[in-house]
Amino acid sequence: MIQGLSVGILIRGGTIVLKDTITVGEVLVDEGKVVRVGKSIESGYSKVVNASGKLVLPGAVDPHVHGREPGLLHKDNFANTTKAAALGGVTTVLEMPNTLPPVDSPERLVEKRELLSSRSFVDFGLYAVLYDYPGDAEKRIRELLEVGAIGFKAFLAQTTGNLPPPSFRSLYVALKLSGELGFPVVFHAEDRGCVEYFTELARGRGLEGLAAYNEARPPLCEELSIEYVASIARATGGRAYIAHLSSSTAFTIVKRYRGSSAKIYVETTPTYLFFDYEEHSHFGPLLKVNPPIRSSSNRRELWAALRSGLVDVVGSDHAPHAPHEKQGSIWEAAAGIPGVQHVLSLMVHAALEGLIDVGKVVELCSENPAKVFGLYPRKGSLLPGADADIVIVDPSKEYVVREEDLAYVHKLTPVIGMRLRGKVEKVLLRGELVVDDGELVADRPLGTFLSRRW
Ligand SMILES: [Zn+2]
């Protein structure tokens, strides 16, 4: 194990990938920060990392992680979640608020912050939940921002933890404030009434499986919900972030609101990009997620939308469950799969397969999420002064994802058995080597809490 790499590291000869530029050169790191990126920086460093033939990327920022701690330890825990993140080149995770208890008060946010600070192997930010705060919603939101909330999450449909959706009043107040202060409000955008009606129909017909689950929560439910959110964002000048968009038809709505006073950000996940209910029906409840995985033609359209710039962020929606919760009928099984360990790897694989530019991967997985959540350029960049969160990938290595390589407590993911190109070899977190040769070498949780600049 190599420790104490925080002074004068020179990463030499790698292919440095940024959103708009790909250059062969050196990255100089000192005291946990990027000092300089350039060609042939002079010698004399305590440590030189030879990266020739390798890709050098800024660490990924995964804005959609359900680490399950506190309160849901039978599903997973934050140490394992963030070990998985580190192994996958995700150096920042933004943790969702639907733990037990949910993060709905400044006291609870501070408690969770303290707890996870002693557990986290990567840097992390915390969401607060947005639901119907009776009384003064604005006061509550401001208090939560004051103690460091990175953003707010509103669950507009049924979800893990059964959190109630926000009232119109709370939603309006939150979006208005988001425009004024610059934080995003993240939406699980599916219309409740729509989901209830179509679920009743599909179950009533005795249907089963992933195709049936798609029928029970059709794209219409997403479209209605996005229209609702986007129109309030337009009226208030708010910043609405649509989490895990799955339906390609929803982009017609997104397009209509882009360029208005609303800021509409779109996130999708590798689950919708790599899986569909036709080719992957054999997975059954294992692949149950909300919104559901869609058709193969929808999957192709989602890639096209991503290439054309309609998607801002690729996040994992990492949402592990225990084996007994993922069994049985599609209607009873829990929705969600773990994904933080391979979100970046899947996108790098896609780039090496020629599906997208590798610079686009950096934009979607590092730069844009850092920007949306107020962490840029400290995170998501290799600019001088940025945290030296750096991922070195060997593009010539092909590997098959094995169960024993996963850091999750429950290894229930459809990526097992997939052959991927481009292996994460080394990961630096603020200049400390936390992954070497694809193995975790950090001997303690080095992650720190991040709050947004606002
Ligand atoms: Zn989620």
CA dist., res. 93 & res. 344, Å (int):
12
Q: Model-level pTM? A: 0.96
CA dist., res. 59 & res. 123, Å (int):
11
Helix residue ranges, H only, 237-295: 251-257, 270-274
Report how far ligand 1's centroid is from the alpha carbon of 5 (Å). 35
Q: What is the pLDDT of residue 4?
A: 42
Report how far ligand 1's centroid is from the alpha carbon of 57 (Å). 25
pLDDT in tens, 123-170: 999 999 998 888 889 999 999 999 999 999 999 876 656 677 888 999
Q: Are 153 and 98 in contact (CB under 8 A)?
A: yes
Nearest alpha-carbon partner for 28 in 59, 61, 56: 56
Q: Is the pLDDT of residue 2 over 70?
A: no
pLDDT in tens, 331-342: 999 999 999 999
Report how far ligand 1's centroid is from the alpha carbon of 164 (Å). 15
Helix (H, G, I), strand (E, B) or coil at 167: coil
Q: Is the pLDDT of residue 1 over 50?
A: no
Q: Is the pLDDT of residue 259 over 90?
A: no
Q: What is the pLDDT of residue 160?
A: 59
Q: Rounded to the nearest 5 degrees, what angle is found at the Cα of 345, between the Cα atoms of 26 and 424?
A: 45
pLDDT in tens, 369-410: 999 999 999 999 999 999 999 999 999 999 999 999 999 999
Report how far ligand 1's centroid is from the alpha carbon of 98 (Å). 9
Calculate mean pLDDT across residues 56-76: 97
pLDDT in tens, 177-209: 999 999 999 999 999 999 999 999 999 999 999
Q: What is the pLDDT of residue 279?
A: 97
Report how far ligand 1's centroid is from the alpha carbon of 66 (Å). 7
Q: Is the pLDDT of residue 33 over 80?
A: yes
Report how far ligand 1's centroid is from the alpha carbon of 371 (Å). 20
Report how far ligand 1's centroid is from the alpha carbon of 293 (Å). 14
Question: For the chain, what is the mean pLDDT?
Answer: 94
Report how far ligand 1's centroid is from the alpha carbon of 124 (Å). 16
Q: What is the pLDDT of residue 3?
A: 43
CA distances from 188 to 152, 227, 302 (A): 11, 13, 18
CA dist., res. 231 & res. 253, Å (int):
10
